[in-house]
Amino acid sequence: MRSLALGLALLLIGGAVSAEQFKPAKSSAQPPAASQAAKKTATKKATTKKSAPKGPPAKMLFGVVAAPAPLKARAIGSYSKGCLAGGVSLPINGPDWQVMRLSRNRNWGTPQLLDYLERLASDAKARDGWPGLLVGDMAQPRGGPMITGHTSHQIGLDADIWLTPMPDRILTPQEREDITAVSMLKDPFAVDPAVFTTLQVKLIRRAASYPQVARIFVHPAIKKALCEQAGKNRAWLAKVRPWWGHFYHFHIRLKCPAGMEGCANQKPPSGDDGCGKELSNWYKTLQKAEIWAATQPVTPSAKPPPKKKQLTLNDLPKECTTVLNAGGGAPVIAEDGTVPAALELPESKDAGPPAPRLDAAALEALKAELSGKPKPTTASASAAASGSVPLPDRKPH
């Protein structure tokens, strides 16, 4: 619940915002200027309004709505700035999938996302020997920004799938909260061949093979392994994009379904397989990030994290206000601008382990390599990582 605390802190720093400012219909209402004093107050208020956020962060609103908007199913806006009308939920148990972290209530999506996942689960089992999908976060019932974990997943076209094979039994709800996904990495730069096998390669290739898929996100080390193991047929690799954090799950993003008005596609990835310059650039960034991470204190300092822009309802497409309010679904906003229900959300355990870190010797070797000096002979940069120091999951997707 790091982000919840952060969100609340920012909300408090940002100042109290009245419920009236949140409701678009009332936002233009001016208090009657009965006296000079009242006029002064009104002017002061109007000035303050300009810089103050317009209503609570949208994630506080969308993050607490438990049911879908009773409207025609539509993905509205873009993956990182939008919402979901008429969302449908993936059954928590299918013939070849199980939904994890049920307490999060994030197994929602467009009907097209559900169709896709059911097809992928069935094809991967029948044709690739993958025993079944463990499904991570999809979208919230009405999509929108989330209090924890993602910047995208807002319009019901994104889904996280664990790279851990499904066990051969139905997991209990408690197990679905407690089980941690298996990291595919042996160190920050390479997969562990003992866990990342041809089964995972086939699963990701299968997931990318359908025309409705826009992109798939994996950790750069996984992309590297896929590049090495793809063989001659490489077209699918163009859709598989490196991104931070995706070392125990991969992220599937569908294109906007044909004819779905108001759904904003991303520019398609270039036709290149991404195994050349793009990947080597990612590796340079990864190396720098490792060195940066090593300079960070192991225990989080009391210093507040850098301020991140919070999306408010006004930043989302207008129709998202309709989606939030449909069927009387909008949560109560307190006088001070907070959303009380957001404070009562249950905590849930991170789905995966912390990212592995280099040990001291490997770190020194890497620094030497980057500075162009000869490597120390005691260890190489690719030597075993300790894996014991947690690295924050930077830039979640």
Identify which of residues 357 and 397 has a Cβ nearer to Zn ion in the complex.
397
| Residue position matching structure tokens 């997707």 | 397
The CA angle 128-130-134, to the nearest 5 degrees, is 145
CB of 16 to Zn ion, least distance (A): 33
Q: How far is CA 115 from CA 90, 170, 311, 315, in A?
A: 9, 22, 30, 30
φ, ψ for residue 187 (rounded to 5)? -155, 180
Residue 151 CB, nearest approach to Zn ion (Å): 9
Task: Report the residue closest to Zn ion, judged by CB.
Answer: 251
Whose Cβ is closer to Zn ion: residue 241's or residue 357's?
241
Q: Please state the closest distance from residue 336 (CB atom) to Zn ion, in A.
A: 32
Least separation in angstroms between CB 247 and Zn ion:
12
CB of 397 to Zn ion, least distance (A): 5
Match 């197990």 to its residue by tokens.
175
Angle in degrees, CA 384, 389, 391, rounded to 5 = 105
d(CA 354, CA 296): 15
Report the distance separating Cα 208 and Cα 206, nearest Å: 5
Of the pair 176, 249, the CB lying nearest Zn ion is at 249
d(CA 159, CA 170): 21
Task: Mark residue 144 as left, alpha or beta (left: phi above 0; alpha: psi -120 to 50; beta: remaining).
Answer: left
Q: How far is the CB of 158 from Zn ion (least distance, A)?
A: 6
Residues that bind Zn ion (CB under 5 A): 160, 251, 397
Residue 239 or 251 having the CB closest to Zn ion: 251
Give the shortest CB-150-to-Zn ion separation in angstroms.
6
DSSP states along 256-318: PPTT-TTB-PPPPPPSS-S-SHHHHHHHHHHHHHHHHHHTS-SSPPSSPPPP-PPPBGGGS-T
Q: Which C-beta is closer to Zn ion: that of 104 or that of 251? A: 251
- Least Å from the CB of residue 35 to Zn ion: 55
- Give the residue among 279, 280, 199, 273 at the shortest CA–CA distance from 237: 273
Residue among 135 and 333 whose Cβ is closer to Zn ion: 135
* Full 3-state SS string of 144-211: CCCCCCCCCCCCCCEEEEECCCCCCCCCCHHHHHHCCCCCCEEECCEECCCCCCHHHHHHHHHHHCCC
Q: Shortest gap between Cβ of 378 and Zn ion (angstroms)?
A: 38
Q: Whose Cβ is closer to Zn ion: residue 218's or residue 358's?
A: 218
| 3-state SS assignment for residue 122 | helix
3-state DSSP helix/strand/coil % of the chain, to nearest 5: 35, 15, 50
The residue length of the chain stands at: 397
Compare residues 249 and 367 and give the one whose CB is closer to Zn ion: 249
Least distance in angstroms from the C-beta of 226 to Zn ion: 17
- At 54, which amino acid appears? K
